């Protein structure tokens, strides 16, 4: 597709770099971010990569829309046409305590897919996921793709309070809730790693867009050893 630049806010614009989400689209998105970052453009305050687009935030008092668009077009033109292989991305392993106790929707996901709870666990933990976007809550990573055999639609009505650390899936996406919040995804386990840690200043955020994540099943005891909690 032809890349598109659209103003989206008085101090923001969206650059669309690909038609449909996937590894190739994300590769292009991250390559664009890196190339723009290397130019260290004065007045650009934030780059938010997501699936097929990049939101660029800028300070109007420092750079105007037209100049920024010109720069963005230059950066797009400089991208390698063959880009599509994701070179960046850390490999991360997140332990998960999968159980009825920690994942109240585990049975529902199994029933929806006519498989056993053990199948859900082994399929969910066998795949490697890519972080396509961060948002919804601080450090909430939208990860894909969930194997087709265990995809399950969201709940009809969201829960008012999903416990922090909940590992969840909705259709092709999976995620870990970094802090207690409302949520409509299917809860299948708990992860003891703090994805959003406010005990330090500035807080630490575990995931980055482009990371590759694998989930590793651990038992109750190990989950608690790793600092996991079961009190909601």
Partner 1 sequence: MDKPESLAAVTVERTGPMALIQDSGRAGRQHLGISVGGSADHHAAGWANALLGNPGDAALLEVCLGNLALRFDRATAIAVCGADCGWQLNGRPLANWSATRVPAGSLLECGPARNGIRAYLAIAGGILSDPVWGSRATTVGEGLGGLNGVPLRSGDVLAVPAYDITGRDGKHGAVPAAQQRRYGKALVLRLVPSNQYLQFTAEARRQLFRQVFQVSPQSDRMGVRLDGEALEAPPANMTSEGVALGVVQVPAGGQPIVLMQDRQTIGGYPKIGHVYTVDLDWLAQAVPGTEITFEPGTLEESQALLLQQRELFMSRDSSQFHENGFNGK
Give the residue with the Cβ less far from partner 1, 103 or 165.
Answer: 165
Query: Site for partner 1 (CB under 8 A): which residue of 1, 6, 126, 148?
Result: 6
User: Can you tell me the distance from the alpha carbon of 17 to that of 52, in angstroms, rounded to the nearest whole number?
Assistant: 6
Q: How many CB atoms lie within 10 A of CB 101?
A: 12
Phi/psi region, residue 9 (left: phi>0; alpha: psi -120 to 50; beta: rest), is: left
Q: What are phi and psi of 189, to 5 degrees?
A: 180, -175
Q: Under the criterion CB under 8 A, does residue 65 sit at the interface with partner 1?
A: yes
Among 3, 24, 127, 136, binds partner 1 (CB under 8 A): 136
Copy the structure tokens of residue 20: 């449909």
> By C-beta, is 133 or 218 nearer to partner 1?
133
Question: CB-wise, 11 or 119, nearer to partner 1?
Answer: 11
Residues from 180 through 199 that contact partner 1 (CB under 8 A)? 181, 198
| CA distance linking residue 198 with residue 196, whole number of Å | 6
Beta strands 166-170; 186-190: pairing state: antiparallel
Reference 106, options 122, 95, 117; nearest CA is: 117
Q: Distance between CA atoms of 99 and 152, rounded to whole angstroms?
A: 17
Residue 89, interface with partner 1 (CB under 8 A)? no
Segment interacting with partner 1 (CB under 8 A) among 83-91, 97-105, 127-135, 210-218: 127-135
Shortest CB 203 distance to partner 1, Å: 7
Is 203 one of the binding residues for partner 1 (CB under 8 A)? Answer: yes
Binding site for partner 1 (CB under 8 A): 6-12, 14, 21, 45-55, 57, 60-61, 64-65, 132-140, 142, 179, 181, 198, 201-203, 205, 209
């Amino acid at each position: 597709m032809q890349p598109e630049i659209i103003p989206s806010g008085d101090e923001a614009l969206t650059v669309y770099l690909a038609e449909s989400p996937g590894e190739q689209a994300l590769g292009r998105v991250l390559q664009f971010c890196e190339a723009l970052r290397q130019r260290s453009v004065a007045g650009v305050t934030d780059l938010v990569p997501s699936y097929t687009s990049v939101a660029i935030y800028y300070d109007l008092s420092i750079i105007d829309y037209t100049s920024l668009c010109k720069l963005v077009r230059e950066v797009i033109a400089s991208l390698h046409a063959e880009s599509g292989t994701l070179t960046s991305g850390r490999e991360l392993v997140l332990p998960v305590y999968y159980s009825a106790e920690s994942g109240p929707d585990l049975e529902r996901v199994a029933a929806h897919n006519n498989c056993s709870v053990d199948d859900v666990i082994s399929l969910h933990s066998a795949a490697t996921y890519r972080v396509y976007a961060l948002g919804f809550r601080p450090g909430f990573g939208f990860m894909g793709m969930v194997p087709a055999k265990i995809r399950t639609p969201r709940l009809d009505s969201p829960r008012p309070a999903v416990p922090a650390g909940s590992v969840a899936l909705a259709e092709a996406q999976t995620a870990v809730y970094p802090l207690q919040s409302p949520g409509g995804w299917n809860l299948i386990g708990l992860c003891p790693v703090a994805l959003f840690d406010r005990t330090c200043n500035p807080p630490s955020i575990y995931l980055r867009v482009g990371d590759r994540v694998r989930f590793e099943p651990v038992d109750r005891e190990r989950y608690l050893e790793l600092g996991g909690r079961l009190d909601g």
